[in-house]
Amino acid sequence: MQGQFKTPGGKLVVVDFQVVEGMLRDVTVHGDFFLFPDDAFPALAAALEGTPAGLDSTHIADRVRRGLPAGAELVGASPEAIATAIQRGLAAAGDRA
């Protein structure tokens, strides 16, 4: 599955994932935004791994915030934008079901 969200600033947030037994698995977050330091991307994906697919956007964004390493900075994206991309991917998959 893939969800996308274009932020108000024009940056694209893309989240690729699978849903296995109701949980997000094999999560990858990418797009044309920045995350400093670059090596924080695995922590971002790990924060989302195992997230219940039915979790609302607010709680998904909270998981992103808690999962980012201290001092990591999202530029051109936000935890809410990532959560929106996931929600869109789930909705699109539901539309295909």
Query: What's the pLDDT tens digit per position in 7-23?
Result: 998 899 999 999 999 99
* pLDDT tens-place string over residues 21-58: 999 999 999 999 999 998 999 999 999 999 999 999 99
CATH number of 2-96: 3.30.390.50
pLDDT for position 33: 96
What is the pLDDT confidence band of residue 96, given thresholds at 50, 70 and 90?
low
pTM confidence score? 0.94
Q: Is the pLDDT of residue 97 over 60?
A: no
**Domains of the chain: which residue ranges?**
2-96
- Mean of the per-residue pLDDT values for the chain? 94
- Cα(81)–Cα(76) distance, rounded to whole angstroms? 9
